[in-house]
Chain A
């Protein structure tokens, strides 16, 4: 293994991702090359400092303050959710009834005034409405879940 290659894969060797023949060649090179050996030692020192993991704790008061603020926010959210949710079902029911009524009216108007030949307009309009409804619900679902796996919905 040449010197240039050895310097390149030094970090892979240290992070444990170097395997098989390349690892053996590297170890052989290290045994013969003082410069690479010194570099390896230096890196091992840095890594051992990293691994000693100097640690910092959050201040008790700061944590309690966060706890309190988070609790209050969650409570407010839960209360506003409880205020809204009883209205959702009646609202959806109302939308559904309006949808049926409007289409029933439209169908009858078309039939009476323009005759059966124009009913294709009604069916086209019905398909358009259903596409809109499906698109609306799919967008709503995607808004909350769809991008999360790719981090597009990161907060």
Chain B
């Protein structure tokens, strides 16, 4: 992004990344309306902070870092209202219009129960197929920590998977 106020540049980046960004946000929140709000907020923060963008870092990494921060803020807010909201989610009364095949629904339920720090690394590793170093840049952690989080995340996911049988 050489011309920081270039709308065409930003628009093309929005088109390029919209699917992967929305998928990431959705897998962190599992609420379509919330995901759409966070998607918008992410891009607003990008535009408001264009001067802070360092071109040495790939734009996608910066974008996902912003989205990750907003998702974590949302998860923290949710944690404060956790018990009541979890009950609502299990009963399916949140605004969820997506209907999935049974196994995908099971995976969705399992990912929802996974702590956000494991969900993040599993998403980037298995859905975005990023390398450990790239994931480390997004999350601001060493690649060794990413590897161990992936392993621990999979262990936890397996445990939750067994419990949802």
Contact = CB atoms under 8 A, between A and B. Distances in A.
Query: Do A and B interact with each other, yes or no?
Result: yes
Interface of A: 11-12, 14-15, 17, 42-43, 46-47, 49-59, 62-63, 65-67, 69-71, 73-75, 77-78, 81, 144-145, 148-151, 153-155
Given A54-B107, A58-B18, A74 B47 contact: yes
A12 B10 contact: no
A77 B47 contact: yes
Q: Could you tell me the dominant secondary structure of chain A's interface residues?
A: helix
A50 B56 CA distance: 31
Contacts of B39: 58, 62-63, 66
A79 to B, nearest CB: 10
Contact of B161 (A46, A55, A77): A46
A46 B158 contact: yes
Contact of A51 (B49, B104, B126, B147): B126
10 contacts: A17-B147, A43-B158, A53-B127, A55-B23, A56-B23, A56-B26, A70-B46, A74-B7, A148-B54, A153-B52
A134 B123 CA distance: 44
Nearest to B105: A54
Q: Could you tell me the dominant secondary structure of chain B's interface residues?
A: helix
A59 B98 CA distance: 12
Interface of B: 5, 7, 10-11, 14, 18-19, 22-23, 26, 32, 35-36, 39-40, 43-54, 56-57, 65-66, 69, 98, 100, 103-104, 106-108, 122, 125-127, 140, 147, 150-151, 154-155, 157-158, 161-162
B7 A63 contact: no
A12, A55, A65 — most chain B CB neighbours (10 Å) = A55
A58 B71 CA distance: 16
Nearest to A63: B18
A55 B158 CA distance: 21
A59 B5 contact: no
Sort A-B residue pairs by CB-CB distance and give the 5 closest, nearest first. A151-B140, A11-B151, A62-B36, A58-B22, A78-B5
Contacts of B155: 11
A60 to B, nearest CB: 11
Contacts of B69: 154-155
Nearest to B101: A54
A145 B56 CA distance: 11
A51, A57, A58 — most chain B CB neighbours (10 Å) = A58
Contacts of B66: 154-155
B49 A50 contact: no
Nearest to A54: B104
